[in-house]
Amino acid sequence: MKNSVDEAIRDMSKGRMVLVYDFDNREGETDMAIASEFVTAESIREMRKNAGGLICTTAHNDIVEVLGLPFLADIFNEASKDHPVLTGLVPNDIPYDTKSAFGITINHRKTFTGITDVDRALTVREFAKLIKNSGGKSPAVLREEFGHSFRAPGHIHLLNATKNLLTKRFGHTELTTALAVMAGVVPSTTICEMMGDNGKALDKSKAKAYAERNDLCFLEGQQVIDAWKDWGKKR
């Protein structure tokens, strides 16, 4: 089984899936992850059928700040002034984290319902393309392009990576986005939790076996953190 960060970076740069387990004392989950720019209908199908969790797309803090992408919890907090029921739903008791990464949900405007494998793949790829082509453009121009190309709500859940990756939050959002940065691809990944048939997250040993059968790289969160620190020192 492939289990080195170098192998994972090579695979991610080639558009291959990588499996990332966070930590025993966090979610204790393995996510399938692929660089968003390479997402196809086939990769969405693989996540849907062989992972089974929620398919989400990460956004590096740079694009989060340029576009002004909000966290969903902040939207709910603001909306609670007009909709008091939201006040009681504050996510202040997440047992494994201090903040949810959930942002808005989007569909590309060329999708139909947005939920099919083809539609979701299009939304993800076009979001990655927007990021890739964002260099040198003003925030106002990028926001206009974003609104021209996408509608909300939609069927792709955006996950906003925290500022200064892997310093305050150590979720799959940050772990896989850091891998994308080190791989030199668009800093956005599309991820999905692997679920077991027992109603719980897929056991780590079974996730490793899946990686072995399919020639995929399996990483643990600490490996990514250590590699990220080393990578930063060489920059």
CA 185 to each of CA 57, 66, 68, 79, 96: distance values in angstroms, whole numbers, following the listed order: 14, 19, 22, 36, 29
Q: What is the DSSP letter of 71?
A: P
Q: What are phi and psi of 29, to 5 degrees?
A: -125, 150
Which one of 22, 107, 126, 192 is the catalytic residue?
107
Is residue 62 flagged as an active site residue? no
Which one of 78, 83, 96, 133 is the catalytic residue?
96
Which one of 193, 210, 217, 220 is the catalytic residue?
193
* CA 98 – CA 227 distance, rounded (Å): 24
Strand 150-160 and strand 56-59: the pairing is parallel
Closest to 227 (Cα-Cα) out of 171, 185, 182 = 182
Is residue 21 flagged as an active site residue? no
CA 86 to each of CA 69, 81, 106, 157, 158: distance values in angstroms, whole numbers, following the listed order: 20, 9, 21, 20, 20
* CA 132 – CA 135 distance, rounded (Å): 7
Is residue 217 flagged as an active site residue? no
Which one of 29, 31, 119, 126 is the catalytic residue?
31
Q: In what order do the strands lie in the sheet with 150-160?
A: 102-108, 150-160, 56-59, 189-193, 30-35, 18-21, 217-220
CB atoms within 10 A of CB 199: 6
CB atoms within 10 A of CB 80: 15
Q: Structure tokens of 113?
A: 């319902």
Which one of 3, 62, 145, 155 is the catalytic residue?
155
Is residue 82 flagged as an active site residue? no
Is residue 56 flagged as an active site residue? yes
Residues acting as catalytic residues: 31, 56, 96, 107, 155, 193
